Amino acid sequence: MERLSALYASALFDLALERGTADMFLDQASFVRDSLRDPQCRSMLVHPQIPASEKQEFFRKVFAKHINDDLLGFLFLVTEKNRETYLVPALDSLIGMISRHKGKVTANVCFASALSEKQLAAIKNVLSKMLDKDVEISLNVDKTIIGGPYILVDGYYLDWTVRTRLRDLMVHMKEGCGA
């Protein structure tokens, strides 16, 4: 699935660059992707008994006034080929490609609790300087990590969570005890 999604995204990316519409594609792809993540929309989209023509009519009614013909044509093509499950991953890839092309990256940051705007700004500033890129923060909260963050950004994975440190300590203790 990942390979076909990447192929779709690559074709759309090339088209956006060729036509000089990368910014527009970025905004519109984000709008469509976020809309398609809605559970009701998603269930309709992947329902095997809803014909492609009905799905295309749905796209026409919902998106035609908000997206360009190239992106709408992509939605139609995917439904004709019965590959609706590739839509959101392809749009994710497209958004990432355009963002990287523009020197932007998204950092997936996870903490055990929510952060203040000041804390998020500080993390964004540090990551921007470290990567020499414009960084957007996507914050997730996961109480199971106990404390400390993990960050996934631009191919780097930084894990300073208490959960990971405790797991590493347990492994080290087992190895030291000969268990």
CATH of 2-100, one of 3.40.50.150, 1.10.520.20, 1.10.760.10, 3.20.80.10: 1.10.520.20
| Among candidate residues 145, 142, 95, 141, the one with its CA nearest the CA of residue 120 | 141
Predicted confidence (pLDDT) per residue in 13-41, tens digit: 999 999 999 999 999 999 999 999 999 88
Confidence band for 4, pLDDT divided at 50, 70 and 90: confident
- Angle subtended at Cα 40 by Cα 37 and Cα 27, rounded to the nearest 5 degrees: 30
Predicted confidence (pLDDT) per residue in 133-175, tens digit: 889 898 999 988 888 899 998 778 989 899 899 999 999 888 8
CA-based Rg of the chain, rounded to a whole angstrom?
20
The whole-angstrom separation of Cα 93 and Cα 122 is 27
Predicted confidence (pLDDT) per residue in 65-118, tens digit: 999 999 999 999 999 999 999 999 999 999 989 988 988 888 999 999 999 999
Report pLDDT for 62: 92
Query: Domain boundaries in the chain?
Result: 2-100, 106-177
φ, ψ at 105 (rounded to 5°): -135, 160
Report pLDDT for 179: 55
The whole-angstrom separation of Cα 14 and Cα 22 is 9
Report pLDDT for 105: 87
| Among candidate residues 155, 159, 152, the one with its CA nearest the CA of residue 138 | 152
Give the up-direction half-sphere exposure of residue 33: CA atoms within 13 A in the CB hemisphere: 17
Report pLDDT for 145: 87
